[in-house]
Chain A
Amino acid sequence: MQEPKLERKSEGEYTLDVRGQTCPFPQILSQLALEKLREGSILEVITDNPPSARDVPIALRKKGYEVEVKKSNGQWHIVVKK
């Protein structure tokens, strides 16, 4: 199984690709990634799993993060500000 990677796009901007992962892993991995990032960083989580697209924003908003969700080409881009 491919290990999901957290990649740096630019200064303070990161991407976490969790395509192919089912609940609860996109949520857990997003939280793990956010723990590593500095305040003010932006994390873009990419998922193709509809339940995760619903649940990850709910879980992260509960924890106080600002979250935006965009859908394109059958996948979701969940943009989180730490």
Chain B
Amino acid sequence: MIREKRQYILVYCSKELSQEDISALSKSISCLVGIMAFKDSYINIQRVDKSYIIISARSKFIKSIILATSLIRKLNGNSIRLYTVYTSSIKSKAIKRIPKEST
């Protein structure tokens, strides 16, 4: 089986995310994108900084995930905004885009 390429999206969050928020976010994105991605095999969300997360998914879902991030306004009842900063097929490249002052 040929493994499909994965891509990484660096996302800036307007509030610090807890583990609970991250699983809620995963569910919201999955619903919006229209895939059953509750298992880590499709969408994986990882916190890399207090206000930055990295979402990794199969390449074909990336554009839809970016659209989904612009539609999410609330998470666990609290308002939140997500801003896609950078996409790359290399994870370390995406992490490098985090401004120094934020770390």
Q: Do A and B bind each other?
A: no
User: Chain B residues in contact with chain A, CB under 8 A?
Assistant: none
